[in-house]
A and B are shown apart, each in its own frame.
Chain A
């Protein structure tokens, strides 16, 4: 079974600064997918970024980028130029390659962006 660990329950950052959220996972699979989801107070789960394990290049989506270290089983999320709207819970998630689209989530990190 896969496990996903987010070791930072809460973090804060000043507006316009950069913050990095940590995620580690444990799996025996060689091919899989990793995701970061954002959950604002509205409760909606929003996909932020996706990484395919067979791709060495780190995924980037505008101000969001990841540092994927496959050997270390680490998948951190960097948010640049933080905005007040980035305040939310952030969940790291794992998906096996051949098991449907089932996600295993980490426990989440609550990010507060301060003005």
Chain B
């Protein structure tokens, strides 16, 4: 398996533009997570899906952020409109939640810069 695949690896955009980050989890995994990493706040959980259903979105900063998981093999995180303070590395991670606390597998992240 190729692991968790995120695209793009880098994204530079201007304030006010819409940004869409993409994630393909590991095949067979049923849990998917979006994390954001910044110098100031470290790694924060934004949203967690289980079996394609959002379970916990309490970490989503505000209405400008939205996440979807239309099927088991694809998820998106959208920011509209983007702001400079959204600049961060966004990680997607997946795991198989069968009651055992298995490890998360992380993608390589998307470095987002909003100018």
Residues of A participating in the B interface, judged by any CB pair closer than 8 Å? 33, 35, 42-45, 47, 50, 52, 91, 95, 97, 100-108
CB proximity of A1 to chain B, nearest CB, Å: 10
Given A95-B101, A100-B31, A101-B97; A42-B108 close (CB under 8 Å): yes
**Considering the chains assembled together, what is the distance between the CA atoms of A60 and B102 in angstroms?**
17
**With contact pairs A43-B109, A106-B42, A107-B42 given, residues A100 and B103 touching in the complex (Cβ less than 8 Å):** no
Of A43, A104, A105, chain B has the most CB atoms within 10 Å of the CB of A43
The answer, yes or no, to whether B18 is at the interface (CB within 8 Å) is no
B50 sits at the interface (CB 8 A)? yes
Interface contact B89-A43, CB-CB below 8 Å: yes
- Is there an interface contact between B108 and A102, defined as CB atoms closer than 8 Å? no
Name the A residues within 8 Å of B91 (CB-CB). Answer: 45
Check A101/B43 contact, CB under 8 A, given A43-B89, A43-B109: no
Q: Which of the residues B42, B89, B104, B111 comes within 8 Å of A101, measured between beta carbons?
A: B104
Q: Which of B31, B43, B101, B103 contacts A105 (CB 8 A)?
A: B43
Closest residue on chain A to residue B91 by CB atoms: A45
A45 touches B106 (CB 8 A): yes
How many angstroms from the CA of A45 to the CA of B55 in the assembled complex?
23
**Cα A102 to Cα B34 with chains together (Å):** 10
User: Of A44, A100, A103, which one neighbours B50 at CB under 8 angstroms?
Assistant: A100
Residues in chain A near residue B108, CB distance under 8 A = 42-44
Is B60 located at the chain interface by the 8 A CB criterion?
no
Rank and list the top 5 A-B pairs by shortest CB-CB distance, nearest first.
A45-B106, A105-B43, A101-B95, A33-B101, A107-B42
